[in-house]
C-alpha cells in the first residue's frame, strides 16, 4: 500500500512536469505555490516533514530556473487550526483540553499564529503588489508570537484552571514521530521545527 510520503513525492513530481510543459498558463501571471507555513528553506526537522520540505524547495528552484514570476507566502501557524487545542499537537482540531495538555520538550520556543481570514486577505493583496514580485512574504507579527507555555498560561488565566502538563522529551518525540501513523507523524515533525527547535524567530520579518 502506498504511504503518505509517496503521495507527497508524486505531487511534487506532477507539479514539476506541469511547470516544465505548460508555460502558457503561468507566463503572464504570478505563480503562488501552495506553501504557506514556515519558510521551507529555514527549517530543521526530520521525516516525513523533511521530505515534504525538500520537494517544495526543489519546486522553488525549478520555478526560479524557468523564470516564472512568483510569490512565496510564509504565514506560519493557522490560528483556528492550531489553537483550538491550545497548541497541543497531539490533539489538533479537538476542543480545548479540560485538565491535561501535552507539551513538546520545554515549551519555550516561540511560534507565530495568524487567523486564516487574515492570511487569505494579505495573500490576495500581495498577489498584485509590485513589492512582492519574486519575493517571500512573511506574516510574522510580534504580537502573534508566543510560546506554548505562554499559550497555556493565557488559557489558565482565562478559565481559572491549572492544567496537568505532560512534557515529551526530544528523544521521545523523535521516537514518536518515527512510530506514529499519518497525520500525527507529519504534525509532530512539523512541530519539531516550530515548537522545539524554534525556527520561526530565525526567519526575517517583513
Give the active site residues.
Answer: 56
Look at residue 1 in the predicted model and tell me its pLDDT.
Answer: 42
Fold of 4-198: UDP-galactose 4-epimerase; domain 1 (3.90.25)
The pair phi, psi for residue 197, each rounded to 5°, is -90, -5
- Terminal CA-to-CA distance of the chain, rounded, Å? 43
Residues β-bridged to residue 70: 31
Pairing of strands 135-138, 100-104: unpaired
pTM of the model: 0.84
Closest CA to 150 of 102, 95, 96, 111: 111
Look at residue 23 in the predicted model and tell me its pLDDT.
Answer: 55
Look at residue 13 in the predicted model and tell me its pLDDT.
Answer: 55
Low-confidence ranges of the chain (pLDDT < 70): 1-29, 202-206
Closest CA to 87 of 194, 197, 201: 194
Locate the domains of the chain by residue range.
4-198
Look at residue 150 in the predicted model and tell me its pLDDT.
Answer: 97
Pairing of strands 100-104, 110-114: unpaired
Three-class DSSP category at 188: helix
Amino acid at each position: 500500500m502506498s504511504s503518505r510520503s509517496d503521495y507527497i513525492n508524486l505531487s511534487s513530481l506532477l507539479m514539476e512536469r506541469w511547470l516544465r510543459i505548460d508555460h502558457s498558463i503561468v507566463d503572464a501571471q504570478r505563480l503562488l505555490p501552495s506553501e504557506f507555513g514556515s519558510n521551507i528553506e529555514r527549517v530543521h526537522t526530520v521525516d516525513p516533514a523533511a521530505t515534504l520540505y525538500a520537494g517544495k524547495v526543489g519546486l522553488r528552484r525549478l520555478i526560479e530556473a524557468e523564470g516564472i514570476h512568483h510569490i512565496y507566502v510564509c504565514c506560519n501557524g493557522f490560528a483556528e487550526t492550531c489553537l483550538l487545542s491550545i497548541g497541543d499537537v497531539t490533539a489538533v482540531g479537538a476542543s480545548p483540553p479540560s485538565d491535561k495538555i501535552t507539551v513538546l520538550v520545554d515549551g519555550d520556543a516561540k511560534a507565530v499564529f495568524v487567523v486564516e481570514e487574515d492570511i487569505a486577505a494579505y495573500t490576495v493583496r500581495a498577489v498584485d503588489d509590485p513589492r512582492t514580485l519574486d519575493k517571500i512574504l512573511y506574516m510574522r507579527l510580534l504580537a502573534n508570537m508566543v510560546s506554548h507555555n505562554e499559550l497555556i498560561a493565557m488559557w489558565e488565566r482565562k478559565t481559572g484552571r491549572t492544567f496537568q502538563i505532560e512534557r515529551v522529551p526530544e528523544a521521545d518525540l523523535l521516537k514518536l514521530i518515527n512510530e506514529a501513523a499519518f497525520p500525527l507523524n507529519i504534525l509532530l515533525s512539523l512541530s519539531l521545527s516550530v515548537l522545539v527547535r524554534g525556527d520561526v524567530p530565525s526567519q526575517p520579518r517583513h
